[in-house]
Amino acid sequence: MQPSIYVGLSSQLVLEKRMETLARNVANMNTAGFRSEEVKFSTFLSKKGADGVNYASQGETFISRNHGGLEKSGNPLDVAVEGEGWFGINTPAGTVYTRDGRLKMSAQGELRTVADYPVLDAGGAPMQLDPEGGPPVIAKDGMIWQGTQQVGAIGLFSIDPGAKLQRYENSGVIPDRAATPILDFVTNGVRQGYVEGSNVNPIREMTKLIMVTRAFESAANAIDKGEKAVDGAIRTLGES
């Protein structure tokens, strides 16, 4: 079979993967704290034959760390991250980190996410508020006050820039390196009454989706032409 057909097939595999990630991004463009997925492309050199042929690999998917926009909600239990930090939450998969700061307080005073996972303090312990203490006031450093009583501090964690992130549900991530508590709140902190949205740019993602779809169709046409050329050559050689 002609190398051009293999190249076309490898291109289709890459483009199919890219379409899946773009479709997932578009589907979550309104998901609070969602981080878009990107694909890092590369090629590898075939070792078959004297002439090298470049094939497209399926690419490596990674989670973008770009920030989403902040939207004011006015809810005292909503908090958004300013800077590079992440909230820590306790899940069946262990500690997961998220930028989705939509929180709630249980009847027992436990501070939880909207998905009902306990929110952690800087020491990794679940947060406990006073259910009768009234609406909390949350400072930039995560300190929580109810009236004149300090009841705890929301943990803010730093994830190593070189860590690979695995997605957990929609807005959570699990790094392959341990996260560390943030102690410097000059450039990092939380903002009460705000929610961070998705970092997906819907117009850009839709444009990419159209371009990838057209590229996929072009690759399919190239494969079809290659197969017809091979069939024609076989018929010609067979007759001779």
d(CA 14, CA 7): 11
Residue 39, CA distances (Å) to 25, 112, 156 in order: 12, 33, 28
Q: Provide the b/e sequence for 41-74 (b: ≥16 CB within 10 Å).
A: eeeeeeeeeeeebebbeebeeebeeebbebeebe
Contact of 230 with 237, CB cutoff 8 Å: no
pLDDT value for 12: 67
Q: Tokens in use for 53?
A: 């042929």
Q: Answer with the residue of higher pLDDT: 190 or 212.
A: 190
Residue 35, CA distances (Å) to 79, 86, 219 in order: 17, 12, 30
Pairing label, strands 194-196, 172-175? unpaired
CA 122 to chain centre: 23
Express each pLDDT in 167-185 by its tens digit: 999 999 999 999 999 998 9
By C-alpha distance, which of 174, 5, 182 is closest to 85?
182
Express each pLDDT in 149-166 by its tens digit: 999 999 999 999 999 999
Express each pLDDT in 13-59 by its tens digit: 777 778 888 989 999 999 999 999 987 755 444 444 445 555 555 66
Q: pTM to 2 decimals?
A: 0.80
Q: What percent of the chain has pLDDT over 90?
A: 63
d(CA 235, CA 114): 65
Express each pLDDT in 84-101 by its tens digit: 999 999 999 999 999 999
| Residue at 217: amino acid letter | E
Q: Tokens in use for 227?
A: 């197969």
- Tell me the CA end-to-end span of the chain in Å, nearest whole number: 20
pLDDT value for 191: 97
Average pLDDT over the chain reads 85
Domain ranges of the chain: 3-65+201-239, 70-196
